[in-house]
Amino acid sequence: MIKLIIFDLSGVCFSEEEVPFVRQFAKEHKLSDNDFYRAYEELIYKAEVDEMTGSDVWKQLLKKYKIKENQEKIIQKMMDQKEEYPEILNIAKALRKHYKTAYFTNYNREYWTILSKKVDLSPYFDYGVVSYQIKSRKPSPKGFHHLLKKFNVKPQEAIFTDDSAKRLANAAAMGIHTIHFKNKGQFVNELKKVGVEIPPLKFKSNPYMFSRMNNKELLKEIKWKPFYRQAGEGKFINLMLPLKSIYTMKEVYGINFPWCIGMVKDGSGEWWWDKNGMKEVGHWFLEQQQKDTTFIAKIEKKWQHAKQDVEKCITKIKNNKYKDPRAAFKELTTKAENAWKHVIFIDAFDINSEEIIEKEAGKDAAALTVPFELSYTQRQELSLLKIALALKQGKNIQKQLKAHAEAFYWYKNSYAFVKKLDEKYFLDEAKKIAKKSVKEMQEEMNSITEGMKNRQSECEKLIASLPKRAQNITYFFRKLSDLRDQRKATHVELIVWMKLLLERITSIPEKLTQLMVYDEIKHINDPGFMKKIKERENGVLSGVTARQGFFLMTGKEAENVADLFNHTQKAEQITGRIAYAGNARGIAKVVNTARDFGKLKQGEILIAPMTRPDYLPLMKKCAAIVTDEGGITSHAAIVARELKKPCIIGTHNATKVLKDGDMVEVDATKGIVRKK
């Protein structure tokens, strides 16, 4: 019978701050991160058994590597990055009702003093051991003997969990049950296997808000940290599934992004990601792929299962299998949230995918990452061309048209635009296409099918000449291109049904329901809740942090946070990453929303935060494409390669710096946009 549960802290109850911080510190000072970390590790081990202080560790390192910085400030900066994992701490708190809980962690006296001031551990643990206190580090048995004696339990009556398998060995040899911690779900399941039941978790929170974080707490967490910006049209409710999955992906992979924050106002949004966190998440996924070449295929399989669950739910809604639209809405959004958390990690590679591929393969990243499948916009276009050709030839198209409408009724949707297209819409589109000659339509179909085959063939020839490691990396990124497209297709279909269900549930105007978070549906008839919703009409800031989870802010609090990110550096020259090489010169047109579509003329330069399927007509007639965001798997990059249009992505600030009418030169051989 289990009586005592012992937790490691860093990597289980808190983020692991030391390794990434020390390695990043080395890189910033142009040192070998491996050599520097080994030197740090040798010294910190001594500090963790109280043979020296944390300040002495850094003092020696700074002297050895001739770096002029203050060691106290370095330590404080590192410890500021330590973040709590509330879900695990709350499990420890719940377990205290029926078991004794303790922690055993490796820390030096100075680091521990800072941490203990930052976080009160008394609500979660009955007792704890820190290595410097007993002058012995994990995995030494000394700390375990100390805890067993303290609680008067036998080894077989205790459990120890740690995120490092190496640190479990001595505990297991003593007869203590061990759990190699990976994520919350896995941890709970492992506890159940040894007969530990977790009481229901109770969280005290405002019923209308997901976190009580205020802007001062948030600013402290994010200030001065580098960020990556995304922007575009979007209704608040449609953006919440991907946003919340940034936090819940930890349930699947055991890691998540440190923070992502967005401001939505007047139907448009800006999102800011922790740039270093994106790199760390991307690095972790690449490491897994390098260890196991089937890793991305396993992710794809899990995603397909989750996607099928969403599709089954949509089919049930179509066939009126739900008596209560609220139940349908809840099941649909629950299934969708589960699907998103498998694939949100793809965004981590928006900032450096080209550099990774070109470093590994030494060749053009775009040429090496042709998707395995046609995109959903290509499949729709091909299908509609076939219908138009049959119409031109006088054939009966009724069955084709019905099947097409059932398959693609959602394809024009975006985070901002949601409409269920019908057969009449597609018939009108087919009639427009049928005005072309048979030869023109056949050439367009051939361009889609044979064009893709040719690009894939050229891609595979290049890949075949690469070392095995590089082949594995390019395979990983090609799969990401397909997964990103499938992710978007699933989302823009399911939001059709979210909208239709909301119309059945309530008569509240869409301008208010679109300001909800999907799981706030239970409050929709509460007058107090509607007051909260109306506060969001002037803008709502939302986000997730690994420490606090999901939160919302409105009013001055929200504006103060958004202002932190809105100081764009003005520049005559804009730089980004090359999606398709080439050069173009022309008049810039900034297209932020669908309302701007009409202003772009043939041969002008398209400047956009990002592109979506409804941008396709503009992309066909522009001379070049420049976006604020995106990586090689983004819509803009993929379409630019199909159209063979010069394209620069990930500039961060093109829509902020350029104005309609600016004469610009797009040098997509160097990744530079110049105002002329």
Residue 572 has pLDDT above 60, yes or no: no
47-79 per-position pLDDT tens digit: 999 999 999 999 999 999 999 999 999 998 888
- What confidence score (pLDDT) does residue 651 get? 87
Q: Please choose, from the candidates 209, 340, 350, the residue with its C-alpha nearest in 3D space to the C-alpha of residue 279.
A: 350
User: What Rg do the C-alpha atoms of the chain give, in angstroms?
Assistant: 27
Task: State how far the Cα of 477 lies from the Cα of 360, in Å rounded to an integer.
Answer: 12
Whether this model's pTM surpasses 0.75: no
CA 84 to chain centre: 19
pLDDT digits (tens, 9 = 90+) for 360-377: 888 778 889 999 999 999
Pairing mode, strands 177-180 and 158-162:
parallel
Percent of the chain with pLDDT over 90: 65
Sign of the torsion angle spanned by Cα atoms 51, 55, 58, 59: negative
Band (201; pLDDT cuts 50, 70, 90): low
pLDDT at site 151: 97
Task: Answer for the pair 163, 8: CB distance below 8 angstroms, yes or no.
Answer: yes
Say if CB 668 and CB 585 are below 8 A apart: no
Q: Is 254 helix (H, G, I), strand (E, B) or coil?
A: coil
CA distance 489 to 408: 10
pLDDT at 204: 38
CB under 8 A, 24+ apart: contacts of 390-398 = 391/430, 391/431, 391/434, 392/434, 392/438, 392/441, 393/438, 397/430
pLDDT in tens, 401-425: 999 999 999 999 988 889 999 999 9
What is the mean predicted confidence (pLDDT) over 219-237? 81
d(CA 571, CA 675): 9
The pLDDT value recorded for residue 152 is: 97
Q: For residue 367, give every residue at least 6 positions away whose Cβ sits within 8 Å of its Cβ, in sequence order, or none.
A: 458, 459, 462
Q: Which residues contact 78 (CB under 8 A, 6 or more apart)?
A: 17, 18, 21, 22
Q: Give the model's confidence band at 217: pLDDT under 50 very low, under 70 low, under 90 confident, else very high.
A: low
Which pLDDT score is estimated for 383?
97
Question: Which residues are CB-neighbours of 573 under 8 A, at least 6 positions away?
Answer: 672, 673, 674, 675
Query: What strands lie across the sheet with 583-590, from one edge to the other?
Result: 573-575, 672-675, 663-667, 583-590, 605-608, 624-627, 647-649, 577-580
pLDDT at residue number 276 = 86
Q: Is the pLDDT of residue 108 over 90?
A: yes
pLDDT for 207 beyond 70: no
Contact status, residue 274 vs residue 258, Cβ threshold 8 Å: yes
* Amino acid at residue number 206: N
What are the angstrom distances between the C-alpha of 511 and each of 105, 413, 507, 530? 51, 17, 11, 12
| Region 560-582 average pLDDT | 75
* Dist CA 418 CA 31 (whole Å): 51
Distances (CA, A) of 318 to 398, 406, 497: 21, 11, 9
Are 313 and 500 spatial neighbours (Cβ–Cβ below 8 Å)?
A: no
The reported pLDDT for the residue numbered 568 is 46
Whole-number pLDDT of residue 213: 52
Q: Which of the pair, 586 or 203, is modelled with greater confidence?
A: 586
The whole-number average pLDDT for the span 379-400 is 96
What is the per-residue pLDDT for 206?
38
Note the pLDDT tens digit of each residue in 622-632.
Answer: 999 999 888 77
Of 73-87, 333-347, 504-518, least confident by mean pLDDT is: 73-87
Tokens found for residue 660? 């309609």
pLDDT tens digits for range 110-169 = 999 999 888 889 999 999 999 999 999 999 999 999 999 999 999 999 999 999 999 999
Give the tokens for residue 486.
Answer: 């499938």
Q: Could you tell me the end-to-end alpha-carbon distance of the chain, in angstroms, rounded to an integer?
A: 76
**SS3 assignment for 145-193:** HHHHHHHCCCHHHEEEEECCHHHHHHHHHCCCEEEECCCHHHHHHHHHH
- Checking if the pLDDT of 208 tops 80, the result is no
Residue 603's nearest CA partner among 621, 620, 619 is 621
Q: Name the band, by pLDDT with cuts 50, 70 and 90, for residue 215.
A: low
| Spatial CA neighbour of 244 closest among 10, 550, 595 | 550
Look at residue 557 and tell me whether its pLDDT is greater than 70.
yes
pLDDT digits (tens, 9 = 90+) for 519-529: 888 888 888 88
pLDDT category, 17, cuts 50, 70, 90?
A: confident
Residue 287 has pLDDT above 90, yes or no: yes
pLDDT (tens digit, 9 = 90+) per residue, 268-277?
A: 888 889 888 8
Q: Give the C-alpha separation, 576 to 308, whole Å.
A: 37
Residue 266 scores a pLDDT above 60:
yes
In the sheet with 100-105, reading across from the earlier edge strand, the strands are 127-130, 100-105, 4-7, 158-162, 177-180
Residue 463 CB neighbour total at 10 angstroms: 20
pLDDT at residue 294 in the model: 97
**With 50 as the cut, is the pLDDT of residue 205 above it?**
no
Q: Does 545 score more than 70 pLDDT?
A: yes
Name residue 496's amino acid.
Answer: V
Does 31 have pLDDT greater than 50? yes
- C-alpha 590/C-alpha 604 separation (Å) is 10
Tokens of 428: 């009108």
**Mean pLDDT computed over every residue of the chain:** 90
Cα–Cα separations (whole angstroms), residue 405 to 103, 254, 401, 656: 58, 40, 6, 38
Contact assessment for residue 104 and residue 125, using Cβ atoms and an 8 Å cutoff: no
Cα(542)–Cα(559) distance, rounded to whole angstroms? 11
Q: Please check whether residue 372 is in contact with residue 482, taking contact to mean a CB–CB distance below 8 angstroms.
A: yes
Q: Does 202 have pLDDT greater than 80?
A: no
Q: In whole angstroms, give the CA distance from residue 248 to residue 341.
A: 6
Q: What is the mean pLDDT of residues 88-99?
A: 92
pLDDT of residue 50: 96
Q: Residue 139 in contact with residue 159, Cβ under 8 Å?
A: no
Q: Are 171 and 160 in contact (CB under 8 A)?
A: yes
| Three-state secondary structure of 82-111 | CCECHHHHHHHHHHCCCCEEEEEECCCHHH
